[in-house]
Chains A and B, each alone.
Chain A
Amino acid sequence: MPAAGVVMIIAVLLIVLAVVYYLVSTIVALQRITNALDEAITGVVGIIEKSAPVEAVVTDINANLDAGVDLLEGLLVKKAGLSDAMGLVDGLYPGAAAEGLRNVPESKTVKAPRISEVYTKGTLTLARLGREAPIAAASPKGPALRNPAYGSTAARALYPEIRQGRPGSMPRSPIIGTDSPVQYVPSESPGLRKRMPVPAGASAATTPDQEQPEGGVVKSGLAFLRRLTKDD
């Protein structure tokens, strides 16, 4: 065989070897790519399956929350009035009044009263009276209103004197019912009673002052009612 033929065979063999080497390497790389893409597809399918019901669920949650917001905003405005409602909102969440209520566009322009300042003062007072309140022992603006560990009567200072200081002077709790000894006159204005209850069998002509025990609480209450009636 001539030398040129041998060289040609060697050259062809080299070319074939190069082709085989690179093609096998490429095949291996493509197999790794295929495996990785299989994993990616598995993950993407998982994402699709898990996120499929999300839209419906979130839409339902949003609808319920919208209804709740509408309900609470409407109730707040209905009961407190727009101005006080915005003051309350701003007291709880400073700056929130500027955003206004969602269903009440005019709430953005309402001048909100500073309700939070009133509530803060009362809250501090109650906190200083609290038995376990931390600031009862060291109030931020003064000494504790009572001994936080043992005191229990200081809270009475918050209420009218007679009820807390001399509870024995208060009339007993009424007995209610159709056969109760004291029959109460139905009142169209709760809180204001034109005439004090009359014990069953007592004379209607008896003045209310004579029916009461010696304690001055009821008398003072009747005097207050009389003054109120005269003012009206």
Chain B
Amino acid sequence: MTLEWIGDAVLLLVILPVVVYLLRGVLNAANDIVPSAQQIASAAAAGSRDLDATALLLTTQDQVQKTIVLAADYGGSLDVILDDAR
């Protein structure tokens, strides 16, 4: 009978607090991760939205090519009509 009471005391006074302590630590750690993961998700979504304009780079590339071609044409003409520096 005495051993049973000792076992009860161990369960209630040792095992239960230890189990609660350990599980609470796990829960707190998991809860701490949640806002960080949500911030990462928000940042990734914002970064993805910011990169929506990268499609315009194709337009820029095309315009740059046309501009350089025009500049080369003008440069060639200027090279013909202007005398070189002495």
Contacts and interface: CB of A to CB of B under 8 A. Distances in A.
B71 A18 contact: no
B76 to A, nearest CB: 9
Contact of B5 (A4, A22, A50): A4
Contacts of B58: 53, 57
Majority secondary structure of chain B interface residues (helix, strand, loop or mixed): helix
Contacts of A2: 1, 4
B85 A51 contact: no
A36 B1 contact: no
Interface string B3-27: 0110110011001100110011011
Nearest to B78: A75
Contacts, number: 153
Contacts of A185: none
A18 B20 contact: yes
Nearest to B71: A68
A99 interface: no
Interface string A95-106: 000000000000
Given A54-B57, A81-B86, A43 B34 contact: no
Interface residues of B, number: 51
Interface string A34-48: 001111111110110
B60 to A, nearest CB: 6
Given A11-B16, A22-B26, A80-B85, A71 B37 contact: no
Interface in B40-57: 40-41, 43-48, 51-52, 54-55, 57
A7 B67 CA distance: 89
Majority secondary structure of chain A interface residues (helix, strand, loop or mixed): helix
Contact of A50 (B33, B46, B48): B48
B41 A37 contact: yes
A48 B46 CA distance: 13
Interface of A: 2, 4-5, 7-8, 11-12, 14-15, 18-19, 22-23, 25-26, 29-30, 32-33, 36-44, 46-47, 50-51, 53-54, 57-58, 60-61, 64-65, 67-68, 71-72, 75, 77-81, 84
**Nearest 8 interchain pairs by C-beta:** A43-B44, A22-B23, A81-B85, A46-B48, A36-B37, A29-B30, A4-B4, A39-B41
25 contacts: A11-B12, A11-B16, A15-B16, A15-B19, A18-B19, A22-B24, A29-B30, A29-B34, A36-B37, A39-B41, A41-B44, A44-B44, A44-B48, A46-B44, A46-B48, A47-B51, A50-B52, A54-B54, A58-B57, A64-B64, A64-B65, A68-B67, A68-B72, A75-B75, A84-B85
Interface of B: 1, 4-5, 7-8, 11-12, 15-16, 19-20, 23-24, 26-27, 30-31, 33-34, 37-38, 40-41, 43-48, 51-52, 54-55, 57-58, 60-61, 64-65, 67-68, 71-72, 75, 78-79, 82-86
Given A14-B12, A71-B75, 6 more contacts: A8-B7, A15-B16, A42-B45, A46-B48, A60-B61, A78-B79
